[in-house]
Amino acid sequence: LIAGVAANDPNQAFSATYQLQRPGLVLLGGVVYAAFGGHCDLPPTHGWVLGVSETGKISTLWSDEAGADTGTQGLGGIWAPGALRSDGPGQLIFSSGNGNIPNTPIAGKTPPPELAMTVTRLTVQADASLKAVDFFMPWDSPNLDQIDGDLGSGSPVLLPPAQFSTAKYPHLAIEIGKEGYLYVLNADDLGGYQQGAAGGDDVIARLGPVQGVWGSPAVWGGDGGYLYFVTNGGTGGPGSDGHLLAWKFGVDGNGG
């Protein structure tokens, strides 16, 4: 039975009645990690990551909206089908949906307690709790939140370094959500919020827009490296005019 309060916010209690478990699971260091969002953003739900040991004991409960009002609309849901990823011992990466957006720019290595509309890296601590250590949030997240344009409708993908890397950026990640922009991220330094030039994104590339994605991109490392996306029309929900897109990996003159 999954129950308890968030280790990072004891005022938030997990309620299975309101939580939807859709993303894939990750087995990491003897603990199975699962992520949750709400049913159609109905309150009082937030995004959750929890760990259950191989012996059946809950190791931690973590909320991506620490300090948020639990009675408001569902915030920061983690609901894309493959949203939990890992690129090493004690490392988890996920993407999240609509929720509270900061009022000021924030550096990536100092994540805020409320992590909606982000790609976030969590690190497993010595006491088995989870700590956010890095994040990326699009510069236009306030507008995305208004139009239900979840970044987290698509799963983040960690690209295999052997086929997808450069000397400047040895570890790459990608993210694409409802707005249809493909973000190429430095997995070692995700970029924060409005840390780029003129308050823009501090990312390797922002490509598109194409149509939105509600799913998990696929990767093929052969033939120079390809990314595959199934897209749907509009930002409010999957449409009937979807396309399969294939994008080839490449490097620009700056090594990005």
40 backbone φψ class: left, alpha, beta (φ>0; ψ -120 to 50):
left
pLDDT for 32 equals: 97
**Is residue 136 a contact partner of residue 190, using CB atoms and an 8 Å limit?**
yes
pLDDT for 238 equals: 52
- Give residues with Cβ within 8 angstroms of 177, minimum separation 6: 95, 144, 149, 150, 151, 152, 153, 154, 212, 213
What residue ranges of the chain have pLDDT lower than 50? none
Mean pLDDT of the chain, nearest integer: 92
Query: What are the structure tokens assigned to 184, written together?
Result: 């190429």
- Give residues with Cβ within 8 angstroms of 4, minimum separation 6: 13, 14, 58, 61
Cα separation, 4 vs 17, whole angstroms: 13
The model's pTM: 0.94
- pLDDT digits 0-9 by tens, 63-108: 999 988 766 667 899 999 887 999 999 999 999 999 999 999 999 9
